[in-house]
Structure 1
Amino acid sequence: MNRVVLGFLLIVAVVASSNAGPDPHAKPNLNPIQTDKPLLVRQTKNAKLYTVGKGDDAFNVVHVWGSPYEMGFAQGTILKEEATKFVNDVWKYLEDTVVEAINSTVPFFAGWFLKDVADFGLDLALDLEILATEKYTGKYFLDELRGLADASGLSEQKLKRIHMLGEITKGTCSMFGAWGKAVPVPGTVLQLRALDWNVDGPFKNHPQVTVYHPDSSGDNGHDFANLGWTGWIGSITGMSSKQMAISEIGIVDADDTWGQESRFGVPFTYLLRDILQFDYTVDDSINRIANAHRTCHLLMGVGDGKLGTFRGVQYSAGVSNFYDDKNMLPQGDWHPRIDGAVYWSMGWQHKSFDTVFARQLQKYHGNITAANTIRDLVSIIQSGDSHCAVYDLNQNYMYVANARKDGASGPLQATIEHSFALT
């Protein structure tokens, strides 16, 4: 990836969802792709900041390079105000929402975390989670957080607390991987990651793609792009220069095949980043996941454009089961196996969504592309209300959607009625 220009093709859109099931009257997204080039906003040592997209669809893309500490320091320097606002907004949102959740049945947080908050308070509850996971956290990650704190003036401990979000919250999402007979060009891989999580809090107001160019003189990995928020360095969505990408679904409907969860292990947002930053093939990722100290119930997806394949993962402290198109579970008329595709929507067995998902994948089987995925798949399934990414791993293209920011126009969720922006 080039340090001056974007190393990935980025696109902005917008998708809606409902946990009750897709709207039967959902319409295709027929909006055009925006083709404006990225706009350089400013630069500093080890960082360049761009914007992509137009008007309400615009968001930041920042390139950073150097050692882990230098990359953190560079982001904290070039986006000091933005990172400070994101972290403080998230902290206030946590304080307000946790109190509401303790006094009601808000499903946003894990039950054990709410008990810790009730017993010890928010700060200590998060500190306990940091202690449970820090043993399994890479030094590079902590070095980058320290650099971000030093440059921005944010508390390093507060940054660590914010990065426990993935372990303490529950969300639902969608993914697919398509290859082989499912796609029009042999040897190519197309992949979806749709995040259905939180559109009430501040996250939608701070979208950012961070493109990392680690210093090659040490064991710092390779270039990758991370879709998240300003000041957030964990990974929930992204792709790497090794033609690999990640997808993830939070599981709230686990059955007895899942085994136990654990608080003691590597936070999944750190493990997903390790895949992007350090793994060369999907086989590397399979080994990483199988040998990790895993924590919560998740479905993961890892695509590899070099090997022309995709694997889904049933992931928990108790199990790590790997699925392709021949052994994908669960299996039923609502979730049929499809040649060259692995897919799930909103959980392990959300039949109303999976039925529509399977129908749309079968409709385009043999010709599943980024264009018809955006036009007729995520828009019809209505998944990806927080953000959405479609990866063309052989072209090194990443198409990105984000929910409507406060004060902006258009639908709230990411992938309906908004134009795409192409860089």
Structure 2
Amino acid sequence: MFHHKSLLLMPAALAVVLCGLAAWAEPPAEFLNKQVTMVANPPVKLVDQEGAGRLYEVGPLTVLVMEGPPREMGFQHGRLLAKKIHHIIKEGYMVKALWGRGYTPEYVNAQSERMQKHFPPSIIEELNGMVEGLKAAGVDDISYEDVRLGITQAEILHFPPNAPPACSNFAVWGRWTTDGRLLHARNLDWSIEGDAQDDAAVLIWRPEGGHPFMMLGWAGGVGSVSGMNAKGITLGEMTLPSGDATFDGLPLFLQMRM
């Protein structure tokens, strides 16, 4: 079963490598002449499973495959990536990006509530399923509000609107690639000091009645800023803050997923 989905991972591997390299303000000497290569057939190891959900190690990547209705996919996510979700929320990126910068839970939750008014019901179901999956894995100190931050934190961190543009994409095809295929890569302009990379994951959804798709993100995220669907359509976000922006709308991570 996984063999067919592995087609989704080839551009992902390239993008992850590029994100890691570009996160350094001054690349270490050993990276200056490093050539990026695509691994078409990395070793695949099944690590765990929950219902129709599967957790794999694909080379150096953590790959989660979720399948079914929204609440079941959320449960699979929470149960199979419980340790990483707990780390990113309680010790890693969320702590450093939000609480370490002086944001308060009151402010963050108030803005998240404004955005949640625009969530599709299926996303709320998926988030509730994730909390249930975390509890099934023995993680009891993460709430719905905590996992909701996986969707809303980007808007909060990119406000006020005088921040500089961020992130980059490029695509090459035709005579610029060895076999003519289109290759799309995206640089995530987040500092590695935030440690989001510690809980990075390739997330693959196979929704009941919908089209399979994948996103490059991190444990606990139900959306992200880079991805591809089973038809080979890719997307990558670039941020340009605007003075017209408010918190009263659909968060970026969900816009990209939709």
Same fold (TM over 0.5): yes
- Quote the offset at 1:179 in angstroms: 5.1
| Contact 2:228 2:235 (8 Å CA) reproduced | yes
What is the aligned partner in structure 2 of residue 263 from structure 1?
Answer: 247
Cα distance, 1:180–1:32 mapped onto 2, change above 3 Å: closer
Root mean square deviation of aligned Cα? 2.9
Q: Are 1:273 and 2:257 counterparts? A: yes
- Quote the offset at 1:95 in angstroms: 5.2
What is the aligned partner in structure 1 of residue 9 from structure 2?
Answer: 9
CA distance in 1 between partners of 2:22 and 2:57 (Å): 24
Cα distance, 1:80–1:29 mapped onto 2, change above 3 Å: same
Deviations 1:283-337 (A, max 9, x none): xxxxxxxxxxxxxxxxxxxxxxxxxxxxxxxxxxxxxxxxxxxxxxxxxxxxxxx
CA distance in 2 between partners of 1:18 and 1:163 (Å): 25
Which of 151, 166, 171 is equivalent to 1:172?
166
What is the aligned partner in structure 2 of residue 84 from structure 1?
Answer: 86
SS state at 1:86 partner: helix
SS state at 1:251 partner: coil
Gaps of 5+ in 1: 100-116, 253-257, 275-423
Which of structures 1 and 2 has the bigger CA Rg?
1
Partner amino acid, structure 1, of 2:203: T
What is the aligned partner in structure 2 of residue 289 from structure 1?
Answer: none
Partner amino acid, structure 2, of 1:230: A
SS state at 1:92 partner: helix
CA distance in 2 between partners of 1:16 and 1:185 (Å): 25
Equivalenced residue count is: 235
Partner amino acid, structure 2, of 1:201: G
CA distance in 1 between partners of 2:74 and 2:194 (Å): 25
CA distance in 2 between partners of 1:85 and 1:41 (Å): 19
- Listed as ranges, the matches of 1:124-273 within 5 Å are 124-153=106-135, 154-170=142-158, 172-178=166-172, 189-216=182-209, 221-251=210-240, 260-273=244-257
CA distance in 1 between partners of 2:243 and 2:96 (Å): 32
Give me the identity figure in percent: 24
- Quote the offset at 1:264 in angstroms: 1.3
- Quote the offset at 1:22 in angstroms: 9.2
- Listed as ranges, the matches of 1:57-72 within 5 Å are 58-72=60-74
Taking structure 2 as the reference length, the TM-score comes to 0.79
| Contact 1:4 1:48 (8 Å CA) reproduced | no
Cα distance, 1:31–1:172 mapped onto 2, change above 3 Å: closer
SS state at 2:228 partner: strand
Which fold has the larger relative contact order, with Cα–Cα distance below 8 Å and residues 6 or more apart in sequence? Answer: 1
Deviations 1:68-105 (A, max 9, x none): 11000011122222222222124432454222xxxxxx
CA distance in 2 between partners of 1:268 and 1:168 (Å): 11
Partner amino acid, structure 2, of 1:70: E
SS state at 2:193 partner: coil
SS state at 1:136 partner: coil
CA distance in 2 between partners of 1:230 and 1:141 (Å): 16
CA distance in 2 between partners of 1:127 and 1:96 (Å): 12
Gaps of 5+ in 2: 136-141, 159-164
- Quote the offset at 1:182 in angstroms: 6.0
Q: Per residue, is there more helix in 1 or in 2?
A: 2
SS state at 1:250 partner: coil
